[in-house]
């Protein structure tokens, strides 16, 4: 923990060199490769990237969960002075839901259809906080009220299929924040919802997490949500973080060609509508055949010869903003030298 203590005493979670693989018929698929990041208490980190970039796998791996036959092949997740991934299964289980919790993408399928809302919220409260049945119920009512559900008592008695999508997601959020986790993960918590409800859910998540001082790791591909909600952004491509930094800085001056492409593909809300949206040609390489160099090289407009042979490291471009790119590294260095001269 020495490194993190030097950086900030308020660090909530620190990930070092996390990698996840899934065995496939064509060899192992490297869904997440060597990811490091840290989030401070009360800070909100948005992880963005296209489908298959490994952002959802990464968020689950933070809790030591990998679906199917996948394995975490390396890395550490430091949370409250311990490496979650080095814990025994039983200790890891105890940390889940208490120290680190998650709001899932689709509230329609993420709540158990045959268990009442009450039982689903009360169980973790009793398990993790040792509350009595009555106290846990009281706490559940209070949580549901905080999420803005109109009739908490009726919601408690209901089953998931009796609630609307927005109500279910409020229940999910209530469950996730119930034990006041140090870290709250949210995997595209609004994609399955109506556009009108999306903003409400994000505001709710934001309010409840800041009231509790939880760090939030927010997985999305919606740049509008990132701008509205996050403090920092991390851009993932083919299982790696290729750029990260404060949202405003990254939006203003993206350092990785992929980030540029991603931002260029969004129309500006206040500007004139472009004739056609920019899109990044091609598609990411299969995760079973990642190249030795940068995975973006085939789609990159400014690729250099060394890009295909060696993997660029994340280097600091501006305070707090890092990117992994050979091409912009050189430009930026010259730029910085010019400024300092």
Partner 1 sequence: MLRYAGRRITAMIPALLVIIVLVFALLRMIPGDPAVFIGGENIGPEALQALRERLGLAAPLPQQFLDYLASLARFDLGRSLHTQLPVTSIIGNAITLTATIAITSTVLGLLISVPLGVVAAYSKSKGRNRGDGALMAVVMVLDNVPSFWLSLLLMLGLSYGLGLFPISGAVSWSDPGAMAARLALPVIVLAIGQVAALTRVTRSAVVETLGRDYVRTARAMGTPEPTILFRHALPNAALPIITMTGLSFGRLLAGTVIVEAIFSIPGIGTQLIQAITGRDYPVVQGLILVYALIFLTINVVTDVVYTRVDPRVRLA
Q: What is the C-alpha separation between 332 and 277, in angstroms, rounded?
A: 27
- Closest to partner 1 by CB, 93 vs 212, is 93
Stretch that binds partner 1, among 110-118, 148-156, 258-266, 328-336 (CB under 8 A): 110-118
Helix (H, G, I), strand (E, B) or coil at 184: strand
Number of residues that bind partner 1 (CB under 8 A): 31
d(CA 295, CA 311): 8
Q: Does the protein bind partner 1 through residue 319 (CB under 8 A)? A: no
- Given a contact cutoff of 8 angstroms between Cβ atoms, the answer to whether 94 and 20 are in contact is no
Beta bridge partners of residue 316, listed in sequence order: 322
Cβ contact 157:164 at 8 Å: no
Task: State which of residues 63, 140, 247, 327 lies at the interface with partner 1 (CB under 8 A).
Answer: 63
Query: Are 129 and 179 in contact, with CB atoms under 8 Å apart?
Result: yes
Give the one residue of 102, 140, 216, 238 binding partner 1; rule: CB under 8 A. 102
Instruction: Tell me if 168 contacts partner 1 by CB under 8 A.
Output: no
**Which span sits near partner 1 by CB under 8 A: 46-54, 101-109, 207-215, 250-258?**
101-109
CA 323 – CA 107 distance, rounded (Å): 34
CB of residue 9 to partner 1, shortest distance in Å: 27
Rounded to whole angstroms, how far apart are CA atoms 84 and 199? Answer: 32
Provide, rounded to whole angstroms, the least separation between the CB of residue 324 and partner 1: 30
Crossing angle (nearest 10°) for helices 165-177 and 117-129:
10
Examine residue 95 and tell whether it contacts partner 1 (CB under 8 A).
yes
Closest CA to 118 of 165, 148, 163: 163
Task: Single out the residue of 16, 55, 98, 256 in contact with partner 1 (rule: CB under 8 A).
Answer: 98
If one asks whether residue 97 binds partner 1 (CB under 8 A), the answer comes out as yes
Looking at the Cβ atoms of 159 and 251, the one nearer to partner 1 is 159
Give the Å distances, CA to CA, from 134 to 101, 122, 137, 185.
23, 9, 5, 28
The strand pairing partners of 237, in sequence order, are 240
Query: DSSP letters along 189-201, please?
Result: TTTTS-HHHHHHH
Sign of CA dihedral 74, 75, 77, 83: positive
Q: Pick the binder of partner 1 from 12, 47, 101, 186 (CB under 8 A).
A: 101
Residue among 41 and 93 whose Cβ is closer to partner 1 = 93
Angle formed at CA 289 by CA 285 and CA 291, multiple of 5 degrees: 75
Supply the minimum distance, in Å, between the C-beta of residue 329 and partner 1: 38
Contact predicate 204/221, CB 8 Å: no
Residues 175-194 that bind partner 1 (CB under 8 A): 175
Closest CB to partner 1 among 29 and 63? 63
* Binders of partner 1 in range 125-164 (CB under 8 A): 127-128, 159, 161-162
212 lies in the binding site for partner 1 (CB under 8 A): no
Which parts of 111-130 interact with partner 1 (CB under 8 A)?
111-115, 123-124, 127-128
How far apart are CB 105 and partner 1 at their closest, in Å? 8
Residue with tokens 């994609």: 191
List 6, 51, 69, 279, residue binding partner 1 (CB under 8 A): 69
- Choosing from 4, 33, 38, 110, the residue that interacts with partner 1 (CB under 8 A) is 110
- Cβ 335 to partner 1 shortest distance, Å: 44
Q: Are the C-beta atoms of residues 217 and 45 closer than 8 Å to each other?
A: yes
* Binding region for partner 1 (CB under 8 A): 60, 63, 65, 67, 69, 93-98, 101-102, 104, 106, 109-115, 123-124, 127-128, 159, 161-162, 172, 175
């Amino acid at each position: 923990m020495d490194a993190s203590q030097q950086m900030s005493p308020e660090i909530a979670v620190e990930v070092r060199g996390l990698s996840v693989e899934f065995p496939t018929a064509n060899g192992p698929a490297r869904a997440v490769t060597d990811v490091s990041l840290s989030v401070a208490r009360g800070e909100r980190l948005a992880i963005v990237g296209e489908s298959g970039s490994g952002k959802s796998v990464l968020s689950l791996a933070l809790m030591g969960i990998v679906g199917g036959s996948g394995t975490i092949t390396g890395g550490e997740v430091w949370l409250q002075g311990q490496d979650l991934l080095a814990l025994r299964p039983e200790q890891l289980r105890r940390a889940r839901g208490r120290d680190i919790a998650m709001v899932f993408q689709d509230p329609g399928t993420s709540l158990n259809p045959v268990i009442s809302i009450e039982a689903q919220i009360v169980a973790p409260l009793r398990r993790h906080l040792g509350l009595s049945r009555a106290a846990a119920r009281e706490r559940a009512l209070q949580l549901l009220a905080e999420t803005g559900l109109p009739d908490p008592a009726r919601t408690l008695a209901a089953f998931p299929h009796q609630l609307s999508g927005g109500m279910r997601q409020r229940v999910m959020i209530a469950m996730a924040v119930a034990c006041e986790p140090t870290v709250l993960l949210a995997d595209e918590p609004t994609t399955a919802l109506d556009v009108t409800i999306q903003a409400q859910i994000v505001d709710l998540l934001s309010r409840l997490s800041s009231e509790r001082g939880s760090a939030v790791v927010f997985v999305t591909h919606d740049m509008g949500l990132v701008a509205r909600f996050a403090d920092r952004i991390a851009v993932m491509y083919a299982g790696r973080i290729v750029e990260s930094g404060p949202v405003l800085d990254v939006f203003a001056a993206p350092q990785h060609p992929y980030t540029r492409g991603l931002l260029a593909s969004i129309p500006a809300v206040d500007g004139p509508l472009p004739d056609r949206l920019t899109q990044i040609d091609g598609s990411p390489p299969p995760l079973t055949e990642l190249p030795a160099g940068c995975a973006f090289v085939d789609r990159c407009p400014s690729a250099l010869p060394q890009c295909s042979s060696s993997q660029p490291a994340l280097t600091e471009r501006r305070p707090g903003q890092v990117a992994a790119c050979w091409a912009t590294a050189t430009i930026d260095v010259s730029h910085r030298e010019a400024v300092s001269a």
